[in-house]
Amino acid sequence: MNKILIYVLGLSLFFLSCKEKKVDTTTQQKKPTNILFIAVDDLRPELNFYGANHINSPNLDKLASESLVFNRAYCNIPVCGASRASLLTGMRPTRHRFINYMTRADVDVSEAISLPNLLKQNGYTTISNGKIYHNNEDDGIAWNSRWFPEGNIRNYQIEKNVIENEGSGQAQGGAISHEMAQVHDTAYFDGKIAQKGIADLRMLKNKKEPFFLALGFMKPHLPFNAPKEYWDLYDRSKIELPESYTQPKSTPQKAFHNFGELRQYNNIPKKGDVPEPLAKELIHGYYACVSYVDAQIGLVLDELKRLELDEDTIVILWGDHGWNLGDHKLWCKHVTFETALNTPLMIKVPGKTQGTKTDAITEFIDIYPSLTELVGVEAPNTVEGQSFVPILDGKTQEKDWAVSKFKDAVTLIKGDLFYTEWTKDDGVAYARMLFNHKTDPLELDNLAEKPEYQDTVGELAKELRVKWGKDFLK
C-alpha cells in the first residue's frame, strides 16, 4: 500500500511540474510591451475631450476614449527645451538646471540615463522622429535612429513668406505669424512626420525586439501654418476672446511678459495689446493647427491598429506645456499661470484603460517611472517623479501636489491652490501670488497679500521649499 501511495504522489508531482514548466515557457515567450510616445508642441488642453466642444479633434477624442486622461497634468517648466529634458530624464528643474528652450539634457545632467537610453539598454529599438528633444542632437546615444524633416523650420508654403524670409529659418523680413495654404497635408512637417512614423511601424512590425517609437509633432507651435481645409473647420465670427482677457492690478507685474516669441513676426505690433481682429485670427490659426495635427496622429494610430500592434503597444500622448491664447492678455508660454502649466496627458494601456479621467495631480517627471514600471524595467535613482500606475489600477493616489518653475518664479500646485513665489538665488521671495481655483479658476484675484490669507501663505511657502527638491538652489 505504501508503494502505491508513493507512486501516486510521485506521478502527481510530475504532472504538476510539467504544468509549471508550461506556464513559465508561455511567460517567457510573451512579447514585451511596445511604447508609442507622442509629443505635441505647444498643445494646450483646449480639446473636445477636455470639454472644449468647439474644437475638431476626432482622432484625439477617440484615443482619449481608450485611455486614462489626466485632467490635472502639469509640466515642470513651461518652455519646450527645458520641459522635454526634464520629462525625458525624470528630473526636476532647478535654479541652474533646465532653464530655457536651448537646454540640452546631455549637458545639464550628463550623468542621467534618459528614458529612451534606459529602454535601449534593455533591448528596445528606440527611434526619434521630429521634435522630441528641442535639439535633435541631444542625448544621441539614446537612439538607434533619429530623423527630422528637411527644410525651413518655419515651414512656409506661400511664396511671399519664403522669398522675403530669404530662407533663413527665422520669422523676419515679411514672414507672418500664420498661413492658410491650399496644399496637401504632407507639405508641412507634421504630415511628413506622420508618414515617417507609419513607415517605421511597418518596419518594426517584423522585429523581435520591443520598440520605443517617439513622434514629435510641431503644431500647433508658431507660426500657425496649416492646410486650408483645417481653417475651414472653424467660423471666425464665432471665435471669442478668453474670459480672462485682462491683467488685474493685484497680480504682480512679474507675472506678465511682452510675448516676444509672437512679436518677432512681422504682422504683430511690437508693443501693446494685439488688436482684437488679429487676436481672433491667431486663435483661428491655432485651432486649425490643432485639427491638422489631430489628423496626422489619427493616420499613425490607424496604422498601428491595421498592423495589429495596438494590443501590445502603450500609447502615451502629451503636450510639452500649455499656451496662452490671449489669457491674461498674454500669448505663448513662459509664465506660471494655469494656462501655461496645465497640459494634455493621456495614456492608453491595453487591458487597463477604458476612457476614464482622473483629477489626480500629476507632474511630467512622473511619466518616466510610470512607463518603466509598466514595461518591467527599473528606473535609475536619479528619477525624481512618482509612478502613476496605481491610478491605472483604480487606486487613489496620495500625492496631491506638483511644482513648476520658470526663471525666478516657482509654483506649488496643491489641491485647489496655486501658490507662486519669485525668489532670488538664496531662495528668498521678492514677490508672490496665490489663487484658489475652486472660487477663481481664471486666476484673477491674487490672495497672497490679503491679511486673512497670511497663515495659508506662510504654510505654502514652507511646503514649497520642501517640495521644490533638495538640489533646487545649487
Give yes or no for a contact between 38 and 217, defined as CB atoms under 8 angstroms apart.
Answer: yes
d(CA 80, CA 99): 10
Dihedrals phi, psi of 99, to nearest 5 degrees: -100, -50
Amino acid at 348: K
Among 18, 75, 134, 178, which one carries the catalytic annotation?
A: 134
d(CA 403, CA 20): 48
Amino acid at 218: M
Q: Strands (DSSP E) along 376-445, which ranges?
A: 401-406, 409-414, 417-423, 429-436
Is residue 18 part of the annotated active site? The answer reads: no
Give yes or no for a contact between 74 and 413, defined as CB atoms under 8 angstroms apart.
Answer: yes
CB proximity list for 363: less than 8 A, separation 6 or greater: 73, 74, 76, 385, 402, 403, 404
DSSP conformational letter for 396: P
Q: For the stretch 227-242, what's the b/e string if a residue is b when 16 or more beta carbons lie within 10 angstroms of its beta carbon?
A: bebbbeebeeeebeeb
Q: What's the per-residue H, E or C state across 39-86?
A: EECCCCCCCHHHCCCCCCCHHHHHHHCCCEEECCEECCCCCHHHHHHH
Chain center to CA of 225: 21
357 to each of 30, 65, 75, 371, how far by Cα in Å?
30, 9, 18, 18
Query: Do strands 125-130 and 211-217 pair parallel, antiparallel, or not at all (unpaired)?
Result: parallel
Give yes or no for a contact between 70 and 360, defined as CB atoms under 8 angstroms apart.
Answer: yes
Closest CA to 343 of 57, 86, 69, 105: 69
All three cell numbers of 148? 527630422
**Residue corresponding to grid cell 485632467:** 71
Among 18, 54, 75, 80, which one carries the catalytic annotation?
A: 80
Active site residues: 80, 134
